[in-house]
Amino acid sequence: MTDVIPARFITIEGGEGTGKSTQAGRLSQTLSERGIRNIVTREPGGSDGAELIRKLLVEGEPNRWDPLVETLLIFAARADHVARTIRPALAAGQWVICDRFTDSTFAYQGAGRGLDPRLIRTVEDVSIGGFWPEFTIILDVAVKDALDRIGSRDHAENRFEKFDPEFHERLRTYFRDLARTEAQRCVLIDSNVPIDQVAQRIWSAVAERFKL
């Protein structure tokens, strides 16, 4: 089965508290049960060098970096991630499921923090050369519900969670608009329902998209 199904690059996007990491693991499990080799990775991070940069980005206070410096750090991590993890896995015939990718940069640093998207596009072109996923799953939860979810977390990687609710509203608006304007690549899935239901909806979307 793995010999005839080509490797695919899938991303899972959304704001804080939407359940991306959980659903990436569930999708990986479903693929594995069907004999499809895959890896789960994340951003920022996903390679040794990128994980070192991740710590700089996701810990500390919101004003630790301005939006431009933040974007440069993110794309430095992303370039290493693509070169050392994503492309080798795809070349080896493995599906790649990535928790966040470039859409998050346009959402967080662009829509969220006000950086000109043309500048983000320029940095993207230089660093990863327009490398994009084939399919993107966007998980959607009302901001109040998402903030309630993350309010109970006790971890150091909470820098973006500390931004004000208006920031998180801008993220949600961006992702919902993205699902509408790039409907051929993206699918919007309500994740404010039980985890099993979200996982089933994601699998149905993946199976339909790739004719599984």
- Counting beta carbons within 10 angstroms of the beta carbon of residue 86, is it exposed (0 to 12), middle (13 to 18) or buried (19 or more)? buried
- Tens of pLDDT along 98-107? 999 999 999 9
In this structure, are residues 135 and 206 in contact, taking their beta carbons and an 8 Å threshold? Answer: yes
Residues of the chain with pLDDT under 70: 1-4, 152-154
pTM: 0.94
- Tens of pLDDT along 40-76? 999 999 999 999 999 999 999 999 999 999 999 999 9
20 three-class SS: helix
Q: For the chain, what are the domain ranges?
A: 9-210
| CATH architecture entry for 9-210 | 3-Layer(aba) Sandwich (3.40)
